[in-house]
Structure 1
Amino acid sequence: MAVLQKLKTMRKGLMPLLIVLGAIALFAILKMTKPAQPPVQVQQKVWPVTAMTVQAETLAPVISLYGTVESNALVTAAAPVAGVVASLPVKEGQAFQKGDPLVALAQADIELPYQIAKADVADTEAELRIQGLLYEANRKRLDKEKRVLKIKQDDVKRNGQLIKKDLVSKSTLDASKEAMVRQEYTVVGAQLAVEENKAKVAQLEARLEKAKANLAQAEINRERGNVIAPYDGRIAKVSVAEGDRVAANAAMVTFYGLDSLELRAKIPGFQLDKVYDAIEDGVTLAAELKLNGHAYKLPLKRLAGEATPSGLDAFFAVPATAKTARPGDLWQVNLYGQPVPNVMAVPYSALYGADRVYIVVDGQLKSVTIQNVGEVMVDGQVWAMVRGDLPDGAQVATTHLPNAVNGLKVSVVE
């Protein structure tokens, strides 16, 4: 019994050990019989990019400018005299044609000063004629008084000779001398009257010239009191109303000619050399305007007389076909410069920094150094105009990759 009991005890102790050994054997069999896994191969990622084929050509650089429409002939019609506004057939912003009435003062207010000035001329002319007659009469009187004086002088001389011969008395000689002196005073008075007439004539002639000038001014004011359009244009501002009493020189209406409009835009300082070179070479520069679905050409008229540190103002002609143009409009235009040969146009997404692009060669990127020489307009978009070691027909990557390096594998997609 003791032996049997001992065998049972040993049997209970061996069971866990047999289970562990069986599990180890089963794990070893499974490990030896599992299928073999192929080795993992690490492959470089291929980046999809867009690309374009470039070709050297002659392109016109473009400068994007912002400017304001102005009028170089903004006219303000002022009242020539104080008066009442009798007629005002136009409104602010209204277009007019040459010969149309714009504003008129009351006829009495502009006619009365004209009639007064005209009467003043007539009155001065009459006084001048009277003074001329007086001058002529006094001149004749002076001539006669001088002849009488000559007689008196001869009488004194004769009596002086006779008294030496005791043919006349001394009292006779004294009487003749007294008569001669009185005649001399008479001649002086006549001479003074002639000189006075001369001065009055000169005074009246000056007054007549002044009266005629006032008459001419009154006639001009009479014409300016009725403002007639001198050309086709548009009303910019109306400062009075019909029935208003206005003072002399008070502004009534402001207008401008449709052909006086121009665009004032500032050309940046770093772009001025290109503009100067084109002008010196005789190239006619023009800006392109896109407005309300229409394209317009704005020729460069002139450059400003003074420059600023930020650039120089340029003035462009506004075509008459741009009928919606108004002073104060803000426009964006593209100024086309002198064509540049042997350059290529690429989008800005193709540029890395200021002097590098990548071309696709055998499915890999290759860095190429370029020079950015300006901007060019392509299908309504601004692209960079470059030159460098880009061969004709090269494929320039236009997708901007942050990790772009030489040798990076890429795949060109549409």
Structure 2
Amino acid sequence: MRRLFKVLLPVLILAMGVGAFQILKSTKSEQASPTVQERIWRVEVEPVERITASPQLELYGRVETPDLLRAAASAAAWVAEVRVQDGDVVAEGEVLLRLDERDFRPRIAQVEAEIADLEAQIASEKNRAETDRRALEQERRLLQLARDAVARQQRLKTQQVGAEQALDDAKRSEAQQQLVVSNREMAIADHPSRLRGLEARLASTEARRAELQLELERATIRAPYEGIVTGVEVTEGDQVSKGEVLVRLYATERLEVRARIPAPYQDELIAAATQGIALRARAMIGGESLTLRFDRLAGEADPSGVDALFEVEGEPGLVRFGQLLSVTLERPLREALIEVPFRAVYGSNRLYVVEDGRMHGIDVEPLGTRLGARGEERLLVRSDELEPGDALVTTHMPNAVEGLRVEIIGAEAADDAAGETGR
């Protein structure tokens, strides 16, 4: 009996536990399933407005000039005087530097002496030619007399009166006089050649004198135009060689800015230049705005783009040669553009508008930037899907997706919500 009780007790306890579980399960209260509510995100919007504007293009340029003077020494000399230093603003005609004139004048004096000698030789040659012409007349008469003497001796010999020796002497005299006349005629014939040779030497020496006088004139270096000195390479007492650069200067009125135009905008700029459209640009320098005007494109391009050259229309004193500038180019006018803040852009070309309380994504074509009414930089885009009055989301949402439920906030939230339209 006791053994039977030990066997049935565990079974009884297990049955009581199962029964209690069933009673608790059947008496449990029913709970309603929780409902999931969709979260609503609050965003700011601004109405879409189509405008006609000039997209801006940010460029980086360098100040250059086609009139960069590198004044060099006209000849080997000593530097006598330096009147300017780097950074000086000089007027047209102002003396910059002088070379010692004593290094130039002895060479000029030597050439002038050569010219005087050649002029004397030319005068002597002309006198000689005149003397030869006069002497030739006399020598021809003497030749005729010698010929007459030969003829007379031949007659006498024929008459067997004259001697053979006398006839030979007469012929000898005739031959000698003939040689004298031939030499005189040759001297007269050579006179033009000798004269041209002397005159050529004289012209060469005079050209040399003009060259030396020009070197002397250029020993005093003056500013050819109003400009700014960019460097002085010598000081007083230096000895310089011919062609050595002494001072550098550029014209303030011929400054220009060279900036690289990216390849995607190259055709647009060429078309504007071909059509004669005046394109303006500006650069900010120390709080001052410098106005630039597109002048021309560089003659050489590469796959990255082409250089554009801008004339400085503002105050040229604001910039210096070689200065780097950030340039804002006003591109040609475009119609049907939409101006949006950068915070409204996702990626590089996607915006969101509010439709029926949800965000709807639209791909757009970025066309450039420009400064807004408050001075902030805004993006100009174009899209046929955007209509005037659409509520453009300007709050940047990190979790922005198509169909995200949103609520418009702001001072014009009520008007904006009432103006939402479906597509």
TM-score when normalising by structure 2: 0.81
User: Which residue of structure 1 aligns with residue 400 of structure 2?
Assistant: 404
Q: Find the aligned partners of 2:363 and 2:142 in 1 and give their Cα distance.
A: 116
The partner residue of 1:285 within 279, 283, 299 is 279
User: Which residue of structure 1 aligns with residue 302 of structure 2?
Assistant: 308
1:167: how far off?
8.6
Letter aligned with residue 409 of structure 1: R
CA distance 1:380–1:297, shift in 2 (3 Å):
farther
User: Which residue of structure 1 aligns with residue 192 of structure 2?
Assistant: 198
User: Which residue of structure 1 aligns with residue 420 of structure 2?
Assistant: none
Q: Find the aligned partners of 2:397 and 2:243 in 1 and give their Cα distance.
A: 69
Q: 1:323 aligns to what SS in structure 2? A: helix
Q: 1:388 aligns to what SS in structure 2? A: coil
1:297-346 CA-to-partner distances (Å, cap 9, x unmatched) read 21122211111122111211134613142222111101222111222222
User: Which residue of structure 1 aligns with residue 114 of structure 2?
Assistant: 120
Q: Indicate if the aligned counterparts of 1:376 and 1:385 stay in contact, CA closer than 8 A.
A: no
User: Which residue of structure 1 aligns with residue 7 of structure 2?
Assistant: none
Q: Find the aligned partners of 1:47 and 1:310 in 2 and give their Cα distance.
A: 43
User: Which residue of structure 2 aligns with residue 63 of structure 1?
Assistant: 57
1:96-133 CA-to-partner distances (Å, cap 9, x unmatched) read 11122110112322333333333332332222212221
User: Which residue of structure 2 aligns with residue 18 of structure 1?
Assistant: none
1:275: how far off?
0.6
Is 1:216 the equivalent of 2:210? yes
User: Which residue of structure 2 aligns with residue 138 of structure 1?
Assistant: 132
CA distance 1:154–1:297, shift in 2 (3 Å):
farther
Gaps of at least 5 residues in structure 2 are 1-19, 411-423
Q: Find the aligned partners of 2:80 and 2:282 in 1 and give their Cα distance.
A: 45
Output the aligned Cα RMSD: 3.1
Q: Find the aligned partners of 1:327 and 1:396 in 2 and give their Cα distance.
A: 46
User: Which residue of structure 1 aligns with residue 341 of structure 2?
Assistant: 347
User: Which residue of structure 2 aligns with residue 272 of structure 1?
Assistant: 266
1:226: how far off?
0.8
User: Which residue of structure 2 aligns with residue 390 of structure 1?
Assistant: 386
1:218-265 CA-to-partner distances (Å, cap 9, x unmatched) read 221111111122211111111111122223332221111112321111
Q: Find the aligned partners of 1:353 and 1:113 in 2 and give their Cα distance.
A: 76
Q: 1:98 aligns to what SS in structure 2? A: coil
1:179-204 CA-to-partner distances (Å, cap 9, x unmatched) read 33222211222133334543332222
Q: Find the aligned partners of 1:243 and 1:320 in 2 and give their Cα distance.
A: 41
User: Which shows bigger deviation, 275-284 or 371-380?
Assistant: 371-380
Q: Indicate if the aligned counterparts of 2:369 and 2:377 stay in contact, CA closer than 8 A.
A: no
Q: 1:104 aligns to what SS in structure 2? A: strand
1:338-390 CA-to-partner distances (Å, cap 9, x unmatched) read 11122222233323345432112343212234333344443351513323221
Q: Find the aligned partners of 1:326 and 1:283 in 2 and give their Cα distance.
A: 28
Letter aligned with residue 95 of structure 1: V
User: Which residue of structure 1 aligns with residue 352 of structure 2?
Assistant: 358
User: Which residue of structure 2 aligns with residue 99 of structure 1?
Assistant: 93
Q: Find the aligned partners of 1:215 and 1:261 in 2 and give their Cα distance.
A: 38
CA distance 1:357–1:174, shift in 2 (3 Å):
same
Q: 1:45 aligns to what SS in structure 2? A: coil
Is 1:89 the equivalent of 2:77? no
The partner residue of 1:326 within 316, 320, 327 is 320
CA distance 1:44–1:88, shift in 2 (3 Å):
same
Q: Find the aligned partners of 2:304 and 2:84 in 1 and give their Cα distance.
A: 41
User: Which residue of structure 2 aligns with residue 230 of structure 1?
Assistant: 224
Q: Find the aligned partners of 1:52 and 1:390 in 2 and give their Cα distance.
A: 13
Q: Find the aligned partners of 1:341 and 1:165 in 2 and give their Cα distance.
A: 129
Letter aligned with residue 402 of structure 1: P
1:91: how far off?
0.8
1:153: how far off?
4.8
Gaps of at least 5 residues in structure 1 are 1-20
User: Which residue of structure 2 aligns with residue 181 of structure 1?
Assistant: 175
User: Which residue of structure 1 aligns with residue 288 of structure 2?
Assistant: 294
User: Which residue of structure 2 aligns with residue 9 of structure 1?
Assistant: none
CA distance 1:143–1:52, shift in 2 (3 Å):
farther
Letter aligned with residue 291 of structure 1: I
Q: Indicate if the aligned counterparts of 1:364 and 1:409 stay in contact, CA closer than 8 A.
A: yes
User: Which residue of structure 2 aligns with residue 381 of structure 1?
Assistant: 377
Q: Indicate if the aligned counterparts of 1:159 and 1:173 stay in contact, CA closer than 8 A.
A: yes
Q: Find the aligned partners of 1:44 and 1:331 in 2 and give their Cα distance.
A: 52
User: Which residue of structure 2 aligns with residue 7 of structure 1?
Assistant: none
The partner residue of 2:366 within 363, 372, 379 is 372
User: Which residue of structure 1 aligns with residue 414 of structure 2?
Assistant: none
CA distance 1:259–1:167, shift in 2 (3 Å):
farther
Q: Indicate if the aligned counterparts of 2:86 and 2:229 stay in contact, CA closer than 8 A.
A: yes
Q: Find the aligned partners of 2:36 and 2:352 in 1 and give their Cα distance.
A: 26
CA distance 1:393–1:151, shift in 2 (3 Å):
farther
Letter aligned with residue 221 of structure 1: E
Q: 2:93 aligns to what SS in structure 1? A: coil
CA distance 1:357–1:172, shift in 2 (3 Å):
same
Q: 1:252 aligns to what SS in structure 2? A: strand
Q: Percent identity?
A: 32
The partner residue of 2:39 within 39, 45, 68 is 45
CA distance 1:311–1:139, shift in 2 (3 Å):
farther
